[in-house]
Structure 1
Amino acid sequence: MATGDPARGLWLGWIGLVASLAGGGTALAVAWHGGSFVAAGAAAHLLAGVWVWLGLLRESARRARAERERLEAERLAALAREGRRSLFEEEAPSAGGAAAGGWAAVEAPALAVLLAASELGAAGALLSLGEAAAAREASLAGAAALCGGAFALLVLGRYAFALAEGPAPLAAAGGRRATSGAFALLVAGLALAARHSFGLTAGEGLGYAFVASEALLGVEALVLLLLEAYRPRRPGEVARPPYDSRLLGILAAPSSIAQSIAQAVDYQFGFAFSQTWLYGFLQRWVLPLAGFAAASLWLLTSLVVVGPGERAILRRFGRPVRTVGPGLHLALPWPLVRVQPLATGRLFTLVTGKHEGHAAGDGARVLSWTDAGHVDEGEEGASLVLLARQRAADEDPGVAPVNLLAVAASVHYRIRDPEAYATGVRDPGALLEALAERELSFLLSGADLDVLLRERGERARALRDALQQASDRFGLGVDVVGASLTDLHPPAEVGDAFEEVTVALEERHARILEAEVFSADLLPRTRSEAARKRSRAASEARRRQVLAEADARRFAALRAAHDAAPEVWRSARYLDRLVEAAARRRLIVLGRSAEVRTDLDLQEKLSAEEVGLGQRAFVPRSRDEVEASKEDE
């Protein structure tokens, strides 16, 4: 193949396509097996760049075809000069123009749209993935494979840039993609190696840089597609397809950033910006200006600004020199003097027995102490305290009478001496937390649970005083403002059994209350019913007594009437009986008309009983008969 052969661009397209697929597949496999977020980002970048290599293949094929047509045209011209003609002479010149028009009008915009969709889709997929799988062990072999792929892509990129200066000017788009892919694989390989060798997982956060870069490249492809439709054209210029990223050009050639920007402006706006005096001035003075800006920024580090409520310790080569208060101060620039600000006016809080992150994250959720999920794994034993208790009567004498209690306390403190706080120990906050754990165990170990629950406030004040004395002995330079016992309960592991006992006690108490309510309702009703029955019985007894006395007096009156006129009394009684019997039956009186006499007695008649000659005068009745006759009436 000759040096000026345009088919080199076609070979470059195939090699770049295979290399991108191979590198992206390798990075995807490493991300899948090793749980690497940054490797997934590198795979997304390489696989999205496949559309650029496809565009380069199509453009190289078109240019190779155009070159063949040019050679054919020259051959035909030579034949014409010799007086000979070709059979297909009239059809040959039109093929290249039609192919070029189809490429510019359809294929390049379509590839730009597909590239933008791939870039934006990859950014969305990476953002949803996050660092969920970053806890798996990294593979050193995978890191080596990624670094090897980065080297291969870098060589391919250099070759593409060299080829872009010759027969394939659009090979620079592939070179930019190859160089950026090499950089992505190198970053992913180094992150995996650091994770495997040193346990550093901070490199996985670079996956979010891939998210931002993929989204930015997708937006750039859409913007370039829009600008391509309206930019002015200059005669003789080589068109750059909209999928050729200008941002990746800056990454591929960082030493000529100004030239890359000038070329982009020349191409987009249709005038030679790189030939103006402004470009020459910037190219000549940009480095001195940048150096002056960097020196100015470095000298600005000598100005120390301490905010309100803070004090700052000035360290010269790590050794404290002086302590300054709020305001503006002058010192040697960084790194000769380092500033360590301390918020002396702020109130700090530490929580013993559990992680402090729960205080902010669980504010909107109700936490139960029986739920072991709100205690960090590995820290359950940090707040367990043995408490003495009274031995039960039926308890085994060989078992120690203690209670196991989970305790957490909140300690509020303020920095009193900044220099002592910063230079006394390496981590004063961790030491203060350990002292709080120790003093909490000492303070609560000799107390009974019931007493402790009643004296929570007194125990918290005692914890504050003991912790202040301990911190003074270690020279921490803090003032313990207050302490509070936030958690005070049995361990979460016995939560189910404790809840069963608690529920049983609550049910017992509820039943006692129900019985008291029932008793409070039943006793008054029972007393009222008893009083009503006693009153009714007394009334009934009085009524019967009165009736018996009346019967006795009536009987005496009838007896006296009988003794006075026995025959009259009997006749009257007989007639009364006859009247009663005749009243309940139909009587028919028959007689002769001559002997019938009607006697109308219109005078008021008195009953036999009104004169003491009624039914009771003849036959005294029992008390039951009297009651039955009253009910009939």
Structure 2
Amino acid sequence: MSLKRIYAAVGAAIAGVILLFVLFTSWYTLDESDQAVILTFGKAEETVTDSGLHFKLPWPIQKVEKLAKETKSLEFGYKEGGDEGELSDETKMITGDENIVLADLVVQWRITDPKKYLFNADNPEEVLYDATSASLRSIIGSSKIDDALTSGKAEIEGNVRELLTSLMEKYDVGISILAVKLKDVELPNEEVRSAFTAVTDARETMNTKLNEAKKYENQRMNEAEGERSAIISKAEGEKAARLETARGDVAVFNELYTEYKNSPDVTRERLTIETLEQVLPGTEIYIMNDDGNTMKYFPIRTMEKEAPKPSENTEGDE
């Protein structure tokens, strides 16, 4: 076999290998959960998000960097390689009223700009972790311990998310924050937890007593308001009745006055008799036409009682 044929065979083999390499590196596939950035001589050209088979120029002209589209979770505050639920020292934070608490959370995030994610930072996830730590410490540091341990967690979560989102937009690494969830906020040891629990129980008892007192106050206020309304209504009724009585008395007086002007003597005598009837009810009045120098005594009613009845006289005669 001649040397020329050997060279030809080797060349054909090399060409075949190159052709296979070109064909192999000119196609790539994407799953539904993936997205890709096409790099041409190391420069980002375009972002591909459609799943399926795609064509590109062979390596080293173009290269594909695949990134996930699904939502990822960042757990802040847990020791790497430690037992489940074991917290790291960085979870110790100081509240705004100078108390120490242990706080950990979970951040839901997603890559929304693959180009920035690949080239704007060496380690975008480390940037996210540091920003999460700074945001949580800042918000906890401006909150009171009561809010951090009880009813203020939702507000703290919202503030942490808002601050973390602004930081990631400032760093511009292609990451978007979807949600922030505080998992645990607790005191550093059992003794402190017991003391805080006692204080919390006392506060709840105080609030219960205050609510009961407020309820009793409202009840008594309502009752007093009802009594006040009843008294006012009664007074208004009496006022109206007295006004009507006064109007009637005025009308009667006016009529009497008219009669008096017409017949003074007769009206005066009639008023005198009516007054005596009102002052001495049931008393028999005898009007004597004399000068009144002698006292008269007429036991007429007594004599009537002592007089025998006609039936009695009839029986006596028999």
Give the TM-score, by structure 1 length. Answer: 0.28
The 1:448/1:475 distance shift into structure 2, 3 A limit, reads: same
Structure 2: stretches of 5+ with no match in the other structure: 1-8, 203-318
| Counterpart residue number, 2:143 | 447
Q: How far is 1:384 from its partner?
A: 2.1
- For the structure 1 residues 313 and 423, does the alpha-carbon distance in structure 2 shift closer, same or farther, using more than 3 Å as the test? same
| Residues 310 and 504 of structure 1: CA distance in aligned 2, closer, same or farther (over 3 Å) | closer
Structure with greater strand percent? 2
Structure 1: give runs of 5+ residues left out of the alignment: 1-284, 368-373, 390-401, 510-633
User: 1:403: Cα distance to partner?
Assistant: 0.8
Tell me the CA shift for residue 474 of structure 1. 1.5
Equivalent position amino acid for 1:386 in 2: I
SS in 2 for 1:388: coil
Equivalence for 2:101: 405
The residue type equivalent to 2:147 in the other structure is: V
Q: Aligned partners of 2:17, 2:103: CA distance in 1, in Å?
A: 56
Select 2:24's aligned residue among 300, 303, 310. Answer: 300
Change (3 A) 1:484 1:296: same
Contact 1:353 / 1:409 at 8 angstroms: preserved in 2?
yes
Q: Tell me, what secondary structure is at the counterpart of 2:176?
A: strand
Which residues of 2 match residues 169-248 of structure 1 at below 5 A? none
Distance 1:356 1:328, change over 3 A: farther
Task: Write the deviation string for residues 519-574 of structure 1: whole angstroms up to 9, x where unpaired.
Answer: xxxxxxxxxxxxxxxxxxxxxxxxxxxxxxxxxxxxxxxxxxxxxxxxxxxxxxxx
The whole-number CA distance in structure 1 between the counterparts of 2:94 and 2:196 is 24
CA deviations on 1:294-325 (whole Å, 9 max, x unpaired) are 75145311112122132211122322122222
**Corresponding position: 1:456 with 2:181:** no
Structure 2 residue identity aligned to 1:331? K
- State the shift of 1:455 in Å: 1.2
TM-score (norm 2): 0.52
CA 469–458 in structure 1, closer or farther in 2 if over 3 Å, else same: same
Residues 112-164 of structure 1: per-residue CA shift (max 9 Å, x gap): xxxxxxxxxxxxxxxxxxxxxxxxxxxxxxxxxxxxxxxxxxxxxxxxxxxxx
Q: What is the distance in 1 between the residues matched to 2:164 and 2:126?
A: 14
Instruction: Confirm whether residue 332 of structure 1 aligns to residue 28 of structure 2.
Output: no
Amino acid at match of 1:351: E
After TM superposition, give the deviation of residue 328 of structure 1 in Å: 2.3
**Aligned twin of 2:72:** 348
Q: Which residue of 1 aligns with 2:178?
A: 481
Find the aligned partners of 1:388 and 1:404 in 2 and give their Cα distance. Answer: 10
Instruction: Work out whether residues 104 and 184 of structure 2, in 8 Å CA contact, stay in contact via their aligned partners in 1.
Output: yes
Match of 1:465 in 2: 162
Q: For residues 416 and 356 of structure 1, do their structure 2 counterparts lie closer, same or farther at Cα, with a shift above 3 Å needed? A: farther
Using the TM superposition, give the Cα deviation of residue 471 of structure 1 relative to its aligned residue in structure 2, in angstroms: 0.9
Residues 74 and 107 in structure 2, CA contact (< 8 A), matched pair in contact too = yes
Q: Secondary structure at the match of 1:460?
A: helix
Residue number among 378, 386, 390 corresponding to 2:94 in the alignment = 386
- CA distance in structure 2 between the partners assigned to 1:422 and 1:329 by the alignment: 21
Give the 3 Å change call, closer, same or farther, for CA 503–441 of structure 1 in structure 2.
closer
Helix, strand or coil at the partner of 1:299: helix
Distance in 2 of aligned mates of 1:505 and 1:287? 87
Q: Residue type of the partner of 1:354?
A: Y
For 1:384, the aligned partner's letter is K
CA distance in 1, matches of 2:136, 2:164: 9
Which amino acid in structure 2 is aligned with residue 445 of structure 1? Answer: G
Aligned pairs (5 A) from 1:77-116 = none
Paired with 2:179 and 2:80, the residues of 1 have a C-alpha distance of 17
Q: Quick one: structure 1 residues 357 and 297, their matched pair in 2 at CA, closer, same or farther if it must change by over 3 Å?
A: farther
Query: What is the rounded CA distance, in whole Å, between the counterparts of 1:450 and 1:468 in structure 2?
Result: 26
Deviation at 1:496, TM superposition (A): 5.1
Mapped partners of 2:196, 2:154: distance in 1: 27
Output the amino acid matched with 2:41: F
Measured at CA, do residues 487 and 504 of structure 1 come closer, stay the same or move farther in structure 2, by a change above 3 Å? closer
Relative contact order, CA 8 A, sep 6+: which one is greater? 2
How far has the Cα of 1:435 moved from its partner? 0.8
Distance 1:406 1:335 in 2: 50
- Displacement after TM superposition at 1:440 (Å): 0.8
Would you say the 8 A contact 1:350–1:356 is kept in 2?
no
1:411-457 CA-partner distances (Å, limit 9, x unpaired): 10112222222222111111111111111111110211112222112
- Local SS of the residue matching 1:457: helix
Distance change in 2, residues 1:475/1:340 (3 Å) = same
Correspondence for 1:111? none
Aligned to 1:110: none
Question: In the aligned structure 1, how far is the partner of 2:183 from the partner of 2:11?
Answer: 60
Q: Distance in 2 between matches of 1:316 and 1:425?
A: 19
* Cα offsets for 1:351-371 (capped at 9, x unmatched): 22224666xx73xxxx5xxxx
Q: 1:357 to 1:289 in 2, by over 3 A?
A: farther
Q: What CA distance in whole angstroms lies between the structure 1 residues aligned with 2:197 and 2:135?
A: 35
Which residue identity does 2:62 align to in structure 1? V
Label 1:420 to 1:437 Cα distance change in 2 as closer, same or farther (>3 A): same
The 3 A distance-change label for structure 1 pair 429 and 449 is same
Amino acid at match of 1:322: E
C-alpha distance in 2 between matches for 1:472 and 1:319: 23
Distance 1:471 1:503, change over 3 A: closer
**1:464–1:482 contact (8 Å) kept in structure 2:** yes
Does the C-alpha gap of structure 1 residues 388 and 468 become closer, same or farther in structure 2, counting only changes over 3 Å? closer
Corresponding residue of 1:423: 119
- TM superposition shift of 1:505: 5.1
Alpha-carbon contact 1:310-1:342 (below 8 Å) kept: yes
Q: Quick one: percent identity of the two aligned structures?
A: 22
Note the C-alpha offset of 1:487: 2.5
CA contact (8 A) 2:96 2:140 kept: no
1:450 alignment partner AA: D
CA gap of 1:417–1:503, structure 2 versus 1, over 3 A, is closer
Question: How far has the Cα of 1:480 moved from its partner?
Answer: 1.0
